[in-house]
Structure 1
Amino acid sequence: MEQLLGGDIPEGLRCDIKSLSTLSGVSRATLYRTYPHLKQEFEQRLGRLRKARGEPDPRIAQIDRLKEEVAQLRRRVSQMNQELAVREEFRATALSRLAAQHEEIISLRRQLQDVTTRGLRVAPSR
């Protein structure tokens, strides 16, 4: 019990009743029938330990931390995708406006060139 609750959990085991029975060398059924007071004590101490320090099994604690980290990263990716969509929309609008302005500039240059060309033709014919 002390080994499991201390966090020294052998590979392939967990901090639970099944592992307690395995390390004790008795079957789970024997633990339940013959040593219910030990099972109860283990569960109570495990509950207090989890409240005080969190999960005593470092592997499970690491899994929980990694799951939370994955959840945070997924939230960040979602937020970044939303920001990217807004920026892509802005980019498309800006490019559309630039294209329209470019066409207007070309049209105005042609008009200016036409006026200038007509003005030069009219002057020599006097």
Structure 2
Amino acid sequence: MRISAAQRTENENRIRAAMDRLLRGVIPPGGKCDIKTLASEAAVDRTAFYGTRPYSHLRVEFERRLNAMREAGEIPDPREAQIARLKTENAKLKERLAASEQTIDELTDFRTQALAWLAAQHEEIVHLRQTAAAANRVTRLPAARTTTIGSCS
């Protein structure tokens, strides 16, 4: 079915208006910033954007503008922006988790060493006490005499 030049111009105007809305970030619920949503918003068959179809030049323009925005760091689709933000946040959290796990491992190793040192020191103290008790070489000194100065007897 052929369309008239006026209908084609009207369709192109609707496509360009929908393209501008999508690239500004006005995404309909359930849609994305893509050709499928563009076709739906402009009320045009999606196949008209591919191959040698009448609106393939508009698809190329849309993809070029979308890629230019992405390269500039602008993401018109809020879901894509959220996905990018969540991926970055996820990577940071993975780094923090790895650092925490490393710290836990180091502290666990230190705890094990500290307990081993304490056990060795306890064994040494017990050994020294047993040795001291078995030797019994302690000699008691006689009690000191008390004398009073200045008394004559």
- Shorter-chain TM-score bucket reads 0.7 to 0.9
Q: Helix, strand or coil: the match of 1:34?
A: coil
Determine what percentage of the aligned residue pairs are the same residue. Answer: 47
Q: Residues of 1 paired with 2:98 and 2:79: CA distance?
A: 28
Letter in 1 for 2:69: L
Q: Which residue of 1 aligns with 2:135?
A: 115
Q: Which runs of 4+ in 1 moved over 3 A?
A: 118-121
CA contact (8 A) 2:23 2:66 kept: yes
Q: Which residue of 2 aligns with 1:43?
A: 63
> CA offset at residue 31 of structure 1?
2.7
**Residue 39 of structure 2 is aligned with which of 2, 9, 21?**
21
Q: Residues of 2 paired with 1:90 and 1:41: CA distance?
A: 62
**Residue 91 of structure 2 is aligned with which of 71, 81, 92?**
71
**Rg bigger for which structure?**
2
Matched, 1:2 2:24: no
**Residue 58 of structure 1 is aligned with which of 78, 94, 113?**
78
Q: Which residue of 2 aligns with 1:124?
A: none
Matched, 1:90 2:90: no
Identify the structure with the greater helix proportion: 1
Q: Helix, strand or coil: the match of 2:72?
A: helix
CA RMSD of aligned residues (A): 1.9
Q: What is the aligned residue count?
A: 121
Q: Which residue of 2 aligns with 1:81?
A: 101
* 1:81-120 superposed Cα distances (whole Å, 9 cap, x missing partner): 112111111110110111010111111112223334x546
* 1:16-60 superposed Cα distances (whole Å, 9 cap, x missing partner): 111111111111112331211211111111111112233211111
Q: Residues of 1 paired with 2:93 and 2:42: CA distance?
A: 41
Instruction: Name the TM-score, length of structure 1 as normaliser.
Output: 0.86
